[in-house]
Structure 1
Amino acid sequence: MFSSKEEFKKTFTDRIESKGTEKSLELAHEILWEMTNDWIQESWKRTNQLYEENHEKQLYYISIEFLIGRVLGQNLINLNFYNLVKEGLDELGIELSEIEELEIEPGLGNGGLGRLAACFMDSLASLELPGHGYGLRYRGGLFTQHFVNGNQTEQPTNWIKDKNNVDTRREDLAVDIPYYGEVQLVMGLDGMRTKIENPEWVKAVPYDIPIVGANGGTVNTLRLWQAEVSNRSSSVGKEYAVYERETAHITDRLYPDDSLETGKILRLKQQYLLCSASLQNIISNHKSSLEKLPESIAIQINDTHPALAVPELMRILIDDFSWDWERAWDVTTRTISYTNHTILEEAMEKWDSHLIQSLLPRIFLIIEEIDRRFKESLQNQGKDDETLRKLSIIEDGVIKMAVLAVVGSYRVNGVAKLHTEILKKREMKELNEQFPNKFHNKTNGITHRRWLIKANQELSGLVTEAIGSQWMKEPERLSELHYFSQNQSFLQNFQEIKSLKKEQLIHHLQRDQNIIVDPSSIFDIHIKRFHGYKRQLMNILHIQMLYDRIKRDSTYRPYPRTFFFGGKAAPSYHFAKQVIKMINTVATKVNNDPLARQHLHIVFVENYNVTQAEYLIPAADVSEQISTASKEASGTGNMKFMMNGALTIGTFDGANVEIFEQVGQENAFVFGMRAEQVMDYEKNHSYNPKEIIESDVEIEKLMEELVKGDWTEGKANADFIVGQLLHEGDPYFVLKDLQSYAKAHEKILDAYENPIKWAEMGVENIAASGIFSSDRTIQQYSDDVWHLTKVPSIY
């Protein structure tokens, strides 16, 4: 580490000169990466040594996604080096921001699930807790989104370069993973053993990314597995070229299209490679303490994608270490804990038994035995047939991964109070009754180091100037800002920073998409994964209503608003892709209308990712959190906006409920049905969208325009939208909540007319946001679930 700016400048300049090549921004980027990595390596090595010496319990967090965003700038922030480096480079005539822009964001996640995992990694290291991540190294990432005639297209995200500074290959830790083959019993020195004959072997090679905690003292590890050809591949009964291509595909893309069986097999291959490689690696590090494994380690599976960790740990203990079933099951179910992230039936993963039986024959036998023994215990308890059916892991040839995860873990958590209660009382009611002490809540959080200190350095500086710097270590001390919501000087500075962040976003969009935005307009931002329940459709239908009113009512001239959208639809999710197409079509119509354009502007930010979010969130006036009540498990975008002083328009759903509790409904715009109302409609099948249309002239006109295709482009686009709203019964209650949503927007316009009051509300949101730091979430997990002990770093 450098003690002064001058020392940094000298070392940086010396390294530049030593290259003997023409100076360029790319060279500066390379040198800064090298220097940063040098600083990190020392702490990384020291952290691992401390863990070995202290023999403290280790956490292993297994997730199919880690949406880590750009790494260089965040590492400099966490090393407390960012300002020194920025000032030093400024004096050398180099912009640090331009160096950061050269970094391609790793395509390792999609939405909240992956970003949560990244925030958790940051908090574990910052709290000096021994916790590491396991994921997959996707060569092509999720995908890079582009629009062609308003339609989403998907291209690989080519983030892995020849000279890759983000991760380090660990060939020495590679393991082999078997697929297919036949299960055989063989006699060994220690009795009968199970063996897979003639499998298709794939090598999993780990790549390690250092996770730098606050102050740079603790550096944990994110280990990502990449599928490659195995040296044992001679046993593959197919052409080598085919095997090589199929192997590469395993870690090529996040979430391959599983609408066909080939896609389902690929997803299962991904999930098993993640679980098997991770557990083989974990067990190899703890062979000496297998008898006390639950006291030595904790394994957290992030949603059902890693649920195969349950039978895989059983396989390792039984087949590789000759344990009996009871002993292995006792250790497994005291080592693994499970986070549930959804109440949507479609997202509760289920796999056809024949697929797992064919691809993973030994794992299938273990799942069958888990299911048999569990059912036997339930029958002995006198459970009725309906309860047995709901609690079955295997039912009618389908393996229910969420049930497997619950049965095979010692703790199960939801990610917001409302979500957890719905799991316990409805979606997993029978499981909760069977395991009454297993379910608990851990409301999600975000790392304030990324989403305030890094993304909004100007606001961070203002906060520190007002209340001191201790809030960076203890984010709940942001509550001290409540006093400053009445301080006129502070409010003025807050408004100026908001205007600056808007200008920075405008510059970014103009450079990347050639879009010009009115900086004085209300920035209303809706950025998240595209899904029916997140109701981007309701947002764009409301904009159409506003357009119609402006065109027909000469007295209606509302304050200018810019509506920002951002997000990706899964390649096989055709409805979501049609909503994207519709938004772009409506944008073209609205943005090119001379009258409407004075009051409404629609911007769809292409290829939304962490980097885009770091521009959008600090610039937001309004945060759109409008999911159908009871459908959003938590949401974390709501927390990021809140922490940056945006006001939420939202339903009583997910963590919105807790946000409204913290900030007060007077500092937000709440609308729509409650969760119990939605669930009552669903239970009784009593919602009829046609009744809404027939009783509301404005909505009736809107639907007529949709049916005619006035707001869509092509019959297919109109049919998808109208089809869900009418023929499929409006499953996400868009029309039911539409007028309530419109009225909430009217309240937004009224409130914005008083800029001082608006600023006060924004500051109150920041002041109430500290509890939503992922530091709080991780400390709760550590105290209640993992039972970790801090390992203080030695500076």
Structure 2
Amino acid sequence: MFNDKETFKQVFREKLIGNLGKPLEEASNADIYNTLGNMIRENAGKHWVETNQRFKADKGKQVYYFSMEFLIGRLLGNNLLNMGVLEVVREGLADLGFCLKDIEEEEADAGLGNGGLGRLAACFLDSLASLQYAGHGTGIRYKYGLFEQKIVDGYQVELPDYWLQKENVWEVRREDKQVEVKFWGHVDSYEKDGRLVFEHKDYEAVRAVPYDIPVIGADRRHVNTLRNWSAESITQPGRMFGSRGGSDYHKFLEYKRSVESISEFLYPDDSQYEGKLLRLKQQYFLCSAGLQSIIRTFDKLGLPYDTLPDKVGLHINDTHPTLVIPELMRILMDLKGMSWDEAWDITTRMVSYTNHTILSEALEKWPVTMVKELLPRIQLIIEEINARFCRELMDRYPGNQERISQMAIIYGDQVRMAHLAIVGSYSVNGVAALHTEILQKREMKLFDEYYPHRFNNKTNGITHRRWLLHANPPLTNLINEAIGTRWITHPQEMIGLIKYCEDSSFQEKVSGIKRQNKLRLAEFISSKHGEKVDPDSIFDVHVKRLHGYKRQLLNILHIIHLYNQIKANPSMDMVPRTFIFGAKAAPSYHLAKRTIKLINTVADVVNKDPDVKGKVRIFFLENYSVSLAEKIIPAADVSEQISTASKEASGTGNMKFMMNGALTIGTMDGANVEMHEMIGDDNMFLFGLRAEQVLDYYQYGGYYARNIYNEDSRLKEVLDQLVTPGPICCHTQEFDQIFHSLLDNNDEYFVLKDFASYVETHVEIDRAYRNQKDWLKKSIINIGHSGKFSSDNTISRYASEIWNISPVKF
């Protein structure tokens, strides 16, 4: 493509003029972005073809990672980095009068994911390509992301996130690869040639069209695929409506709207029946379209089907794609003519499953009647899987009906998707050592006993290419100067930084980089909020999905307590603190949305109070996203990882902050536990209940939130401010729901129980920050140990210990 700045400028000018018909002098930033993006994708296309040809020649196993989310963020900078031309392009554009950072702002964050689940999937795709594994993503091409968050009068307001409004230069529509997905109708069965045949009739057909995005590895030559499926209507009469029949105009419009809704929104509101039905539709659409495409690719190899597990691996990211299991059974039996036992043997040697949560609301269950109506053939297969599994359980545990009912895939009117995923896979992994231990010893104990070798741990990871090399170039350059560049391909060698942790010169450079990152973030916040931000204050950051167990509420209650202290003693000695929040609350999660209002209300009160004198500032940054995270994380001093112990399966934000030198205040939860094992008490700030204590309270009781409220005068003062007229409670009953959730509902996430410990730990942070030499030592130790959390390490373990795949070499 180009190896030097001058060549780049020449090629770029030619492309701009050829594509847009205008000279460089008239080009907008959007023109520059589109031209550059198309150049990169076209060049990647050559390597894309070569990679796929290499896969065909190799005839090795390929893994397909099924996920409802791929939170890939912006791709321009990441692709330039992985192609090795980032600096050439940056300098070339500067010569032409353009700033690459401004050009990157022209790209919309892809609305293909929401939180940690989707970001993990994106990091895994980057590592699969960079390590030269044959591993691809299978997702849905949502027209709209979760939502665009606006904060209006302190409240979250949801606007459509039409991220595809601008051209997506990275995707390629593959209409020739389309498949058909079938819903509704009924199933007839009859005997043919000595075997039972099932025929799906009067169904509603949906056209699934793939849009492929190249996933460019760090060596630029290896390019995998993220294939996202779009739901489109079929226009042939008689194939649209099934038993509803006809092809009149109104029926077609109704059908077309129903079809397009499948790939319209990420996570439609499922608080009502229609929303639940749409989510189930989305999940089957993903699984059926993806599998049909994968099987078609396998068929081209001309190999017998008993070799399918040796050539194809199917990985399901959480329970959302669990319908891969019955859908593969359907294809193998109904289309390929296999017996049940043959199909089940193949299926259970192909599917592996990652569990991401122990939260009951996230362990999906679907009403049997809903599945039966929407997916009649799939429900028959699930019922047969359940019947055979229950017979096995009866043989193993005769007379133990309670155990059988606890393990059954179908119980009452519910299909338990986590149970189906465990029974239909050969590997089930948790995502942090503590999480996996809870799965095996508590939540899925019966399954672990039944399948003693099926459960394993694979602690999550993050791609250091995006979260350090791209997000924090100055720190990257400093690390290169200190230990060379081999760590970029062997991230665990970042441990070599430890020898510099007490080096005054190195500490000074780390401090200077952090301050520059803080200045950039301060400028960004000022531009959005119109308020000055002190770059010499502690940047205390809490950014993640808004949920009760993530305990943004604990954070803001502590801030109210700090405010009360300052009001009582305006001259109190404390290091100025800037608290930064970023989070989206699900539209139907009213308590979470009320928490956002509380944060913004407190911010408005505190930031305007002259008594505070800049000691505390609070900013809620709206519409938290990958691109916003890339601005925030390099600037953070303190990373808030304060989930209720046992509730956060792993966390990956904790790893990103650690890699950029922030110190963690956190509970012993998720991957925080493994961070602590590496760096110890001296290099992070731990507080609160341990997981076993939380789980014992849930199991045996004994926790009374109101007792703590009555005994801790600080806490009582804070909570009373939520419901007593004053600067925080300006409107009657505005925060009553929060107050009652803590006291009348007995504080489900132990916010009050951990309050005192949290307050004391923040005092410790204030004390520690005053000793900058020691603080920087801790920061460097965190950076040095963070290489263990690279997703390259995680994916290497998935590849060797679950998928049994090796890099496909050139």
- TM-score bucket of the superposed structures, by smaller chain: over 0.9
Q: Do structure 1's residue 270 and structure 2's residue 282 form an aligned pair?
A: yes
Query: C-alpha separation between the residues in 2 aligned to 1:161 and 1:59?
Result: 32
* Matched residue, 1:759: 776
Query: C-alpha separation between the residues in 2 aligned to 1:511 and 1:708?
Result: 34
Among 253, 269, 287, the residue aligned to 2:265 = 253
Q: What secondary structure sits across from 1:486 in the alignment?
A: coil
Q: What secondary structure sits across from 2:661 in the alignment?
A: coil
Q: Do structure 1's residue 451 and structure 2's residue 467 form an aligned pair?
A: yes
CA drift at 1:186: 4.7
Q: What secondary structure sits across from 2:163 in the alignment?
A: coil
Query: C-alpha separation between the residues in 2 aligned to 1:444 and 1:234?
Result: 44
Is contact 2:353–2:429 with CA below 8 Å preserved after alignment? yes
* Matched residue, 2:389: 374
* Matched residue, 1:17: 17
Is contact 1:652–1:670 with CA below 8 Å preserved after alignment? yes
CA drift at 1:215: 1.9
Query: C-alpha separation between the residues in 1 aligned to 2:740 and 2:561?
Result: 20
* Matched residue, 1:602: 618
* Matched residue, 1:781: 798
Is contact 1:129–1:789 with CA below 8 Å preserved after alignment? yes
Among 584, 590, 609, the residue aligned to 1:568 = 584
Among 319, 328, 346, the residue aligned to 1:304 = 319
Is contact 2:277–2:370 with CA below 8 Å preserved after alignment? yes
- The 1:386–1:86 alpha-carbon spacing in structure 2 relative to 1, beyond 3 Å, is same
CA drift at 1:512: 3.9
Query: C-alpha separation between the residues in 1 aligned to 2:527 and 2:182?
Result: 48
* Matched residue, 1:322: 337
- Count how many residue pairs are aligned between Structure 1 and Structure 2: 793
Query: C-alpha separation between the residues in 2 aligned to 1:368 and 1:713?
Result: 55
Query: C-alpha separation between the residues in 2 aligned to 1:29 and 1:267?
Result: 35
* Matched residue, 1:194: 198
CA drift at 1:516: 2.9
Deviates further, 394-403 or 502-511: 502-511
Among 409, 412, 415, the residue aligned to 2:428 = 412
Is contact 2:570–2:611 with CA below 8 Å preserved after alignment? no
Is contact 1:590–1:597 with CA below 8 Å preserved after alignment? no
* Matched residue, 2:765: 748
CA drift at 1:520: 1.1
Q: What secondary structure sits across from 2:332 in the alignment?
A: helix
Is contact 2:800–2:806 with CA below 8 Å preserved after alignment? no
Cα deviation, 1:144-188, whole Å, max 9, x if unaligned, reads 100121111111211114633021111111111111101112565
CA drift at 1:770: 0.5
* Matched residue, 1:441: 457
- The 1:28–1:738 alpha-carbon spacing in structure 2 relative to 1, beyond 3 Å, is same
Q: What secondary structure sits across from 1:160 in the alignment?
A: helix
Q: Do structure 1's residue 728 and structure 2's residue 745 form an aligned pair?
A: yes
Q: What secondary structure sits across from 2:802 in the alignment?
A: helix
Matches within 5 A, 1:504-543: 504-543=520-559
Q: Which amino acid aligns with 1:432?
A: D
Query: C-alpha separation between the residues in 1 aligned to 2:132 and 2:731?
Result: 56
* Matched residue, 1:233: 240
Q: Do structure 1's residue 208 and structure 2's residue 225 form an aligned pair?
A: no
Is contact 1:229–1:244 with CA below 8 Å preserved after alignment? yes
Matches within 5 A, 1:345-744: 345-383=360-398, 384-710=400-726, 711-744=728-761
* Matched residue, 1:42: 46
CA RMSD of aligned residues (A): 1.3
Deviates further, 133-142 or 379-388: 379-388
Query: C-alpha separation between the residues in 1 aligned to 2:725 and 2:406?
Result: 44
CA drift at 1:704: 1.9
Is contact 1:585–1:713 with CA below 8 Å preserved after alignment? no
Query: C-alpha separation between the residues in 2 aligned to 1:234 and 1:352?
Result: 24
Q: Do structure 1's residue 171 and structure 2's residue 175 form an aligned pair?
A: yes
CA drift at 1:23: 2.3
- The 1:721–1:54 alpha-carbon spacing in structure 2 relative to 1, beyond 3 Å, is same
* Matched residue, 2:788: 771
CA drift at 1:117: 0.1
Is contact 2:61–2:805 with CA below 8 Å preserved after alignment? yes
Query: C-alpha separation between the residues in 2 aligned to 1:618 and 1:181?
Result: 53
Is contact 1:709–1:718 with CA below 8 Å preserved after alignment? no
- The 1:3–1:718 alpha-carbon spacing in structure 2 relative to 1, beyond 3 Å, is closer
Is contact 1:581–1:717 with CA below 8 Å preserved after alignment? no
CA drift at 1:712: 3.8
CA drift at 1:235: 3.5
Query: C-alpha separation between the residues in 1 aligned to 2:196 and 2:63?
Result: 33
Is contact 2:185–2:243 with CA below 8 Å preserved after alignment? no
Is contact 2:185–2:242 with CA below 8 Å preserved after alignment? no
CA drift at 1:554: 4.2
Is contact 2:207–2:233 with CA below 8 Å preserved after alignment? yes
Query: C-alpha separation between the residues in 1 aligned to 2:28 and 2:770?
Result: 48
- The 1:184–1:714 alpha-carbon spacing in structure 2 relative to 1, beyond 3 Å, is farther
* Matched residue, 2:124: 120
* Matched residue, 2:248: none
Cα deviation, 1:112-139, whole Å, max 9, x if unaligned, reads 0000000000000000000000001110
Q: Do structure 1's residue 331 and structure 2's residue 346 form an aligned pair?
A: yes
Is contact 1:178–1:199 with CA below 8 Å preserved after alignment? yes
CA drift at 1:513: 4.2
CA drift at 1:378: 0.6
Q: What secondary structure sits across from 2:735 in the alignment?
A: helix
* Matched residue, 2:256: 244
CA drift at 1:20: 2.9
Query: C-alpha separation between the residues in 1 aligned to 2:413 and 2:191?
Result: 32
CA drift at 1:694: 1.5
* Matched residue, 1:294: 309
CA drift at 1:226: 0.8
CA drift at 1:249: 1.0
CA drift at 1:507: 2.3
Q: What secondary structure sits across from 2:157 in the alignment?
A: strand
Is contact 1:560–1:599 with CA below 8 Å preserved after alignment? yes
- The 1:709–1:318 alpha-carbon spacing in structure 2 relative to 1, beyond 3 Å, is farther
Is contact 1:550–1:557 with CA below 8 Å preserved after alignment? no
Query: C-alpha separation between the residues in 1 aligned to 2:125 and 2:607?
Result: 42
Query: C-alpha separation between the residues in 1 aligned to 2:216 and 2:191?
Result: 48
CA drift at 1:236: 6.3
CA drift at 1:515: 4.2
Cα deviation, 1:409-449, whole Å, max 9, x if unaligned, reads 00000000000000000000101111010000000000000
CA drift at 1:557: 3.3
Is contact 2:545–2:585 with CA below 8 Å preserved after alignment? yes
- The 1:119–1:515 alpha-carbon spacing in structure 2 relative to 1, beyond 3 Å, is farther
CA drift at 1:6: 1.0
Cα deviation, 1:680-732, whole Å, max 9, x if unaligned, reads 11111111001111111111222222232543453443121012101111000
Query: C-alpha separation between the residues in 2 aligned to 1:544 and 1:470?
Result: 47
Is contact 2:705–2:742 with CA below 8 Å preserved after alignment? yes
Q: Which amino acid aligns with 1:337?
A: S
Query: C-alpha separation between the residues in 1 aligned to 2:207 and 2:389?
Result: 34
TM-score w.r.t. the length of structure 1 is: 0.98
* Matched residue, 1:4: 4
Among 80, 86, 91, the residue aligned to 1:82 = 86
Q: What secondary structure sits across from 1:46 in the alignment?
A: helix
Instruction: Name stretches of at least 5 consecutive residues in structure 1 with no aligned partner.
Output: none
Instruction: Name stretches of at least 5 consecutive residues in structure 2 with no aligned partner.
Output: 246-250
